[in-house]
Amino acid sequence: MAAAKKKRKKVRYSEIRIKLSAKQKKSLINYCNARKTTPNKLIKKMIRPYISNFNKDVPEEYYITEKQLDLFIDNGEDY
């Protein structure tokens, strides 16, 4: 007797669009052609750390703090 195979869960995809200038697109295509990959695979590979590990909670280190940009904090120096 063969065991019944479980039916695979259907994967849902969502679409994200980005806009590139003509020079940026040409640069991306040239980079992908040189490395024999597609723009989609390249982009997914580059953002993989951000899309694979944050299913539930985002670690504290990724939240913006009130002193994120200390360029504008007046520390008493004269310019």
Report the distance separating Cα 44 and Cα 22, nearest Å. 21
**Mean pLDDT, residues 32-45:** 95
Question: Picking from 2-16, 23-37, 58-72, which range would have the lowest pLDDT averaged per residue?
Answer: 58-72
DSSP code, position 74: -
Q: Is the pLDDT confidence value at 16 over 80?
A: yes
Q: Position of tokens 């479980």?
A: 6
pLDDT tens readout for residues 42-63: 999 998 887 876 666 766 776 7
The mean pLDDT of the chain is 81
Domain boundaries, the chain: 19-52
Would you list the DSSP string of 7-49? PPPPPP---------HHHHHHHHHHHHHTT--HHHHHHHHHHH
Name the CA dihedral angle for 47, 53, 55, 57, rounded to a multiple of 10 degrees: -110
Q: Is the pLDDT confidence value at 71 over 80?
A: no
